[in-house]
Amino acid sequence: MNLGIFTAVTDEQIRPALLARAVEERGFESLFVAEHSHIPVRRETPHPESGDIPRDYYRNLDPFVSLTAAATATVRLRLGTAVALLVQRDPILLAKESASLDLVSDGRFELGVGAGWLREEMRNHGTDPATRVALLRERLAAVKELWTREQAEFHGRFVDFDPVFQWPKPVQRPHPPVWIGGWGPTTFDRIVAGGDGWLAPAVPVDELARGLAELQEVAATAEVRTPPVVATLLQPDEAAIEKTATLGVRRILFGLLPLTDANTTLRTLDRLGALAERVRASVDVSLGCPSP
């Protein structure tokens, strides 16, 4: 099991290169960053947990820009999106961006994707919330075609293009790990059918255990091994980490929210790094384990 950091990088806080270097120096294995392209002023959709939408949602840097800066400042840190809103992104451009980032980082990129929850945001991108899950499935399949084929083509309901050339191809083979986020009626079916693992939402450990049981059941029905899982603890402590570790997850992300000025953020990372060192003494935690 690996330990990483999850955060939202904004224009008001520590810069992504400095953040990534600090995360790596404190022994963490990965850095995952969030995405929102914008937040509509007029909206009816509340935040799933708090109702109010936090300020950092309004001010996110583009995750691929943040992770590119992070890649140039580090040498072993895994770099991921948690999550890229694929239903708001052109799949041809996303395939190009993500393969380029995998190349720049020498094969350290991981793509976490989700269908999103803020309906007004996705409507501004021309996405119908009612069909976003089917759209996600097609766009992800198209991205994989572009990653893996010399002449890629795709013909679906939402994505349709004749054979094209696109380079670079990802460094990782057959492609970077793909983590599917969310937890809906068909999430586990999608993961078993077309993902490398589940990027679980930040939920209490007991609820996460229920999700893992559901995922195991879907995998057993499909007669495949249970996909790996990434868990997120927004307020990590030793008890929660150890309890999560017993579930057999691949990686635990410590929440670093909200980011603040550089000095405060670095002190928080010092505290989280010390916490990670303590749990490594009692939990099977390692650095730089192979990705899914």
Whether residue 289 lies inside any domain: the answer is no
Q: What is the pTM of this model?
A: 0.94
Torsion angle, CA of 164/173/97/68, rounded to 10 degrees?
-160
Closest CA to 71 of 19, 132, 13: 19
Identify the pLDDT of residue 96: 98
Burial class (CB in 10 A: 0-12, 13-18, 19+), 181: buried
Is residue 292 domain-resident? Answer: no
pLDDT tens string, the chain, 292 residues long: the values are: 899 999 999 999 899 999 999 999 999 999 999 999 999 999 888 777 666 888 888 899 999 999 999 999 999 999 999 999 999 999 999 999 999 999 999 999 999 999 999 999 999 999 999 999 999 999 999 999 999 999 999 999 999 999 999 999 999 999 999 999 999 889 999 899 876 899 999 999 999 999 999 999 999 999 999 999 999 999 999 999 999 999 999 999 999 987 788 999 999 999 999 999 999 877 755 444 444 4
286, part of any domain: no
Q: What is the pLDDT of residue 51?
A: 67
Residue 275 lies in a domain: yes
Cβ proximity of 136 and 116 under 8 Å: no
β-pair type (229-233, 197-199): parallel
292 CB neighbour count, 10 Å cutoff: 16
- CA dist., res. 35 & res. 11, Å (int): 13
Burial of 133 (0-12, 13-18, 19+ CB in 10 A): middle
Task: Measure Cα distances from 264 to 14, 25, 245, 287 in Å.
Answer: 9, 16, 28, 25
Output the six-digit token pair for 197: 């693992």
The total domain count for the chain is: 1
The confidence score (pLDDT) of residue 47 equals: 77
For residue 8, being part of any structural domain is answered with yes
Which CATH number covers residue 173? 3.20.20.30
Tell me if 82 sits within 8 A of 253, measured CB to CB. yes
Cβ-defined contacts of 171-176 (< 8 Å, 24+):
171/102, 171/103, 171/106, 171/107, 172/102, 172/107, 172/109, 172/291, 174/147, 174/148, 175/144, 175/147, 175/148, 176/98, 176/102, 176/107, 176/109, 176/110, 176/111, 176/147
- Residue 65 covered by a domain: yes
User: CA 96, CA 102: separation in Å to the nearest integer?
Assistant: 10
Tell me what pLDDT residue 285 has.
53
- Residue 181: domain span: 2-280
- Whether residue 157 contacts residue 134, with contact meaning beta carbons closer than 8 Å, is answered with yes
Contact between residue 17 and residue 73 where contact means Cβ atoms under 8 Å apart = yes
